[in-house]
Structure 1
Amino acid sequence: MMKTYKGKSVFNGIAIGKICVYKKDEQQVKRSKIMDVEGEIQRFHKARETAIEQLQGLYEKALTEVGEANAAIFEIHQMMLEDEDYLESIENIIRTQEVNAEYAVAATSDNFSAMFAAMDDDYMRERAADVKDISERVLAALKGEDKSKILTEEPVIIVADDLAPSQTVQLDKDKVLSFVTVHGSVNSHTAILARTMSIPALIGTDLPLDDTIDGKMAVVDGNQGCIYVEPDEETMKLMEGKLAEEKEKRELLLTLKGKESVTLDNQKVLTYANIGNSRDLAMVLQNDAEGIGLFRSEFIYLESDTYPTEEEQFKIYKTVAETMAGKRVIIRTLDIGADKQADYFQLAKEENPAMGLRAIRICLTRPEIFKTQLRAIFRASAYGRLAVMYPMITSVAEVRRIKEIVEEVKRELQQENLAFGEIEQGIMIETPAAAIISDLLAKEVDFFSIGTNDLTQYLLAIDRQNEELDSFYDAHHTAVLRMIYQTVQNAHKENIWCGICGELGGDTELTRLFLAMGVDELSVSPGKVLPLRKIIRETRVEEDREKLLQTFL
């Protein structure tokens, strides 16, 4: 008889197959008295070194399969095994209590994971599972075992209480259709890995982890967040249909790789990707983006405890430029402020930060920070096709002041014999002021990129972070669409190109309208590039341009 269990989806999709209940081998640890304390400490360190070697192997495996950002957890685990507090606790228990290393590791694991679990910070709470994971690995090494791998003969739906990242990355992707866990969180490393590995996955699913479900046929519906155990004929037929549709869509999208984003009547639109750091590059290349339309450089600042140096920034921009191999990479200069704060900037608390000292306003009032970033960008431009754009512009005077600073930077680099390439300079159109005077601003720059998130917020006078205003927030508001159209027209009158890099760029309900407006570039999250290309390649713009413009505007 069919049973349905609800969970929280961390990756969409349908999976059909037999359930394999995965029960982690609980390490049975006995406390025993030892005579040779130093020998026992040596035994622990040998096991710890074995664990670190295993983690390095997992890191290298994850690097090739799921990219640097997701492999980083195994570097973190290696660092945790070097943590002085953790090591001192284990050594201290062995010495003072004269007990075996297994007991000392298990006791430290319990103490540290309980400490992390009690913290307020979500990120730190996640570390509780990591402490248990590294401790289990050391315990296995002390027993001379390799950490358990999940082995199955046929592809299955793995069901478990929770899965550690090290277990997830060891899954043979050909043998795992999906995984469903009773615990876990949307932001856990496991969930992030699942999304990267494109495995339909549910967490928080109240399943019995026993023989009542083990080996039974099931369907995981990641779209609806549920698993059907022993589905009835009707459900199975429906789900098989959905699975076939998904497969067809995936294959179709793969056929678009390497194709141009050009309409049936030959209108070319650049499909670019938005990224937050160089670790996102794997996803950009995997999804065949034609360039990077928004590199949010503020994440370099947000991930640092102090102002990143010119050299640190240069290395990051150079990596991106080289990796993109001649494709355009647009770096947005520092956009700190409002909802993105870095303590070391020591910005005063503001009543209304969205309208306060942020983005280009910080750069123009603290030109030394701005010049450091510009020097790094210009130096990196010798290694690829870089462009730069400036956020939160409201006047022609601001643009002219920026251009003066840029000229100073170029002169300094020339005097120091440091190479740099030709760089296009553009601005974000994300304030109503910039949109309204876009005809004047277009005379000053090489391109526009419309930041629809802030533009909508400022136009509608609605804080986009305020959930209580969701019913009033209308991203398709006629005022927003008219302002985008006006900006595109003003750009084209001055023979510069105009793109969209905000959330609306990936809104497929508006793609045909943007084509009708003449938008030159759409920059979206990497996963949206190919679905967007599909719509572009199936559209004939001239046939319904007037109708579309009249309907929306």
Structure 2
Amino acid sequence: MYTGTAASHGIVLGRAIVKLEETVTALRQKIEPQHVIDEINRLKDNLKATHHQLETIKQQAMVNMGEEEGRIFEAHQLFLQDPEFIGEIEAKITNELLNAESAVADVKDLFVAMFEGMDNEYMRERAADLRDVSGRLLRNLLGIKDTASIDSDEPIIIVAYDLTPSDTAQLDKEKVKGFVTDIGGRTSHSAIMARTMGIPAVVGLGDMTKHTQDGDFLIVDGTTGEVHINPEAALIVQYEKKMQADALLKEEWMKLVHETSVTADGHRVELAANIGKPEDAVDADKQGAEAIGLFRTEFLYMGREKLPDEEEQFEAYKAVAQTMDKDRAIVIRTLDIGGDKELPYLNLPKEMNPFLGYRAIRLCLDRQDIFKTQLRAILRASSYGNIKIMYPMIASLRELRQANQILADVKQELREEKVPFNEEIEVGMMIEVPAAAITADQLAKEADFFSIGTNDLIQYTMAADRMNPDVSYLYDPFNPAVLRLIQYVIEAAHREGKWAGMCGEMAGEEAAVPLLLGLGLDEFSMSASSILRVRRLLKHLHHSELKDAAAHALTLESGDAIQAYIKETILDKI
């Protein structure tokens, strides 16, 4: 048995598909002169096959992730039609009598080195695209099946070092029923994607890819973090019974779709969904979301070659507003680019510490052309639903005031143009910088609401990179320092008559829910797949008892002690 971080609830039994990170090695061979034409024809056949695969992936991405994500693969297809790239490969075959695999590998290395040596950041980014396309072409030439196209009637479990957005775009959601990764934590991209897809996942297993082979039978328990390779029949039967029990439980959860989120003693809270694109709002609605607590708008800007214009953004925000009814709130976070989210076409400077640098609201206050375009689109969409604006990474009252002044200017422009918008639109901010948490009493006087972004708040408070396994022991949402900041933020908001929510991953954690309720949190925003599970939990909790429990928890010395206390005194009694 292997144990990692339980990243997405549920159990899955299925066959492993191991996604190795190392580059495909070409079988280097010389050919006879009389075979040159045959080799070039073989190259052309595989170019066509690769182009067809990319077209299929593009269409899947457009359906599953959105039109802009699909366009990523159009750029990949262009490499396969580039006369300079293909011409160099054919010349290698003809002049050096190399087989197609060797020629592709050599020319790929040449072009990648050329791209990486350029001053233009956007062109350097194309090196990664070329590696991806060339690797796919090489796999086809070598007869190696792509993990996304393997035919199987059984559920598939992807075993990988990590999964990128492009990886997830290629996955067939009807076949892929689970993720297992070597690295990552609950807030890593692969973990968040697993929860969005509603499939079990275990991450941070260390070297799972080295112990697993294609076709191995796996049991993945995304609730406990356990993974079993080729288990005995008795264990399979045991887990099959657990899966049946889970299926019955989910059927019970579905009965709660149209119910309000309320505790056993009648205390009402709001359960909202985090989304990344307009289509996600449809799933959030099906899962009973009472609001959209976080619309990550940066995904509208990523995977493309230029900024989205006002009209495109307006249509995206309007689509979400029309999916939710007029009463359900939609909190739209303004552009949060930087850190691990880059926009190559902005040519932003390389930074030693990008998570602490020129990002989010700092970028928007500097690049007001980008910021104003987005604010115009959001304000215009506010006529179609209960839209709220939220600024990311505010660190000071000065930044909040600067952002609000720009918003006021945009509002005035729209009034002069006689463009309708909600004049009473609420404007809040994320609390993810410790400085903002500590000065929440001042910020609450001018912000309409707070949403606590625990993913960043924890790593900034603990000075611990949330993606670094060597310091993962520090990245703890239950650490007393983190909880005291959360308590202070909630109390500061309430003193000013404002509401406080949470849109970090902590909001959907079972052990955190009673604690956060006791601290007075008003809104919990999470992956849509977690909403019904949390709604069921609320029905077994008594809000009147949780305030004292939370107060006692904050006197304990460690996150482990706090979790154990919540489990023993509250969760184990449900």
1:426 aligns with 2:431: no
1:406 aligns with 2:411: no
Superposed counterparts of 1:382-531, under 5 Å? 382-393=383-394, 396=397, 398-422=399-423, 423-432=425-434, 434-456=436-458, 460=461, 462-465=462-465, 470-471=472-473, 474-531=476-533
1:498 Cα offset (Å): 1.6
Aligned mates of 1:519, 1:179 — CA distance in 2 = 32
- Residue 292 of structure 2: aligned partner: 292
- Residue 537 of structure 2: aligned partner: 535
* Sequence identity percentage: 34
Aligned mates of 1:441, 1:12 — CA distance in 2 = 36
User: Do the aligned partners of 1:338 and 1:353 also contact (CA within 8 Å) in 2?
Assistant: yes
User: Do the aligned partners of 1:178 and 1:220 also contact (CA within 8 Å) in 2?
Assistant: no
1:516 Cα offset (Å): 2.7
User: Do the aligned partners of 2:503 and 2:525 also contact (CA within 8 Å) in 1?
Assistant: yes
User: Do the aligned partners of 1:298 and 1:335 also contact (CA within 8 Å) in 2?
Assistant: yes
SS at match of 1:516: helix
Superposed counterparts of 1:190-229, under 5 Å? 196=197, 198=199, 204-206=209-211, 218-221=217-220, 223=222, 226-229=227-230
1:133 aligns with 2:136: yes
1:499 Cα offset (Å): 0.8
User: Do the aligned partners of 2:508 and 2:526 also contact (CA within 8 Å) in 1?
Assistant: yes
User: Do the aligned partners of 2:212 and 2:229 also contact (CA within 8 Å) in 1?
Assistant: no
SS at match of 1:244: helix
User: Do the aligned partners of 2:272 and 2:531 also contact (CA within 8 Å) in 1?
Assistant: yes
Aligned mates of 1:19, 1:472 — CA distance in 2 = 32
- Residue 572 of structure 2: aligned partner: none
SS at match of 1:418: coil
Aligned mates of 2:56, 2:472 — CA distance in 1 = 46
RMSD of aligned residue pairs (Cα, Å):
5.7
Aligned mates of 1:184, 1:340 — CA distance in 2 = 18
- Residue 263 of structure 1: aligned partner: 263
Aligned mates of 1:505, 1:542 — CA distance in 2 = 20
1:226 Cα offset (Å): 4.6
User: Do the aligned partners of 1:184 and 1:204 also contact (CA within 8 Å) in 2?
Assistant: no
User: Do the aligned partners of 1:13 and 1:222 also contact (CA within 8 Å) in 2?
Assistant: yes
What amino acid does structure 1 have at the position aligned with 2:379?
F
What is the CA deviation profile of residues 460-508 of structure 1, one whole-angstrom value per residue up to 9, with x for unaligned ones?
5x31328565555553344543443343344334433221123432332
SS at match of 1:386: strand
What is the CA deviation profile of residues 518-548 of structure 1, one whole-angstrom value per residue up to 9, with x for unaligned ones?
3221122344333322322332212443344
Q: Alpha carbons of 1:443 and 1:126: their partners in 2 closer, same or farther (altered >3 Å)?
A: closer
Superposed counterparts of 1:212-361, under 5 Å? 218-221=217-220, 223=222, 226-229=227-230, 231=232, 233=234, 235-278=235-278, 281=281, 284-285=284-285, 287-298=287-298, 309-311=309-311, 313-324=313-324, 326=326, 327-336=328-337, 344=346, 354=356, 359-361=360-362
Deviates more, 1:113-122 or 1:56-65: 113-122
- Residue 371 of structure 2: aligned partner: 370
Q: Alpha carbons of 1:85 and 1:318: their partners in 2 closer, same or farther (altered >3 Å)?
A: farther
Q: Alpha carbons of 1:313 and 1:108: their partners in 2 closer, same or farther (altered >3 Å)?
A: farther
What is the CA deviation profile of residues 260-305 of structure 1, one whole-angstrom value per residue up to 9, with x for unaligned ones?
3222233222222234455755664564433322233455566566
SS at match of 2:478: coil
Aligned mates of 2:160, 2:402 — CA distance in 1 = 58
- Residue 82 of structure 1: aligned partner: 81
TM-score, reference length from structure 2: 0.68
- Residue 570 of structure 2: aligned partner: none
Q: Alpha carbons of 1:384 and 1:345: their partners in 2 closer, same or farther (altered >3 Å)?
A: farther
Aligned mates of 1:453, 1:94 — CA distance in 2 = 51
| Structure 1 spans left out of the alignment, 5+ residues | 141-146
Aligned mates of 1:228, 1:196 — CA distance in 2 = 23
Aligned mates of 1:180, 1:434 — CA distance in 2 = 36
Aligned mates of 1:471, 1:42 — CA distance in 2 = 55
Aligned mates of 1:351, 1:290 — CA distance in 2 = 37
Aligned mates of 1:442, 1:81 — CA distance in 2 = 54
SS at match of 2:376: helix
- Residue 144 of structure 1: aligned partner: none
| Structure 2 spans left out of the alignment, 5+ residues | 19-25, 118-123, 556-574
Aligned mates of 1:444, 1:454 — CA distance in 2 = 22
Aligned mates of 1:171, 1:393 — CA distance in 2 = 37
Q: Alpha carbons of 1:266 and 1:377: their partners in 2 closer, same or farther (altered >3 Å)?
A: same
SS at match of 1:204: helix
Aligned mates of 2:89, 2:553 — CA distance in 1 = 70
User: Do the aligned partners of 2:158 and 2:180 also contact (CA within 8 Å) in 1?
Assistant: yes
What is the CA deviation profile of residues 218-254 of structure 1, one whole-angstrom value per residue up to 9, with x for unaligned ones?
5533556655436154x34443344334434444444
User: Do the aligned partners of 2:16 and 2:213 also contact (CA within 8 Å) in 1?
Assistant: no
Q: Alpha carbons of 1:57 and 1:504: their partners in 2 closer, same or farther (altered >3 Å)?
A: closer
Q: Alpha carbons of 1:279 and 1:185: their partners in 2 closer, same or farther (altered >3 Å)?
A: farther
Q: Alpha carbons of 1:197 and 1:522: their partners in 2 closer, same or farther (altered >3 Å)?
A: closer
Q: Alpha carbons of 1:117 and 1:219: their partners in 2 closer, same or farther (altered >3 Å)?
A: farther
Deviates more, 1:121-130 or 1:421-430: 121-130
Aligned mates of 2:17, 2:307 — CA distance in 1 = 49
SS at match of 1:377: helix
What amino acid does structure 2 have at the position aligned with 1:540?
H
What amino acid does structure 2 have at the position aligned with 1:495?
G
Aligned mates of 1:550, 1:292 — CA distance in 2 = 32
Q: Alpha carbons of 1:250 and 1:44: their partners in 2 closer, same or farther (altered >3 Å)?
A: same
Aligned length: 523
What is the CA deviation profile of residues 169-199 of structure 1, one whole-angstrom value per residue up to 9, with x for unaligned ones?
57974xx877999x9999999x979994848
Aligned mates of 1:63, 1:408 — CA distance in 2 = 36
Superposed counterparts of 1:4-19, under 5 Å? 14-16=11-13
1:511 Cα offset (Å): 0.8
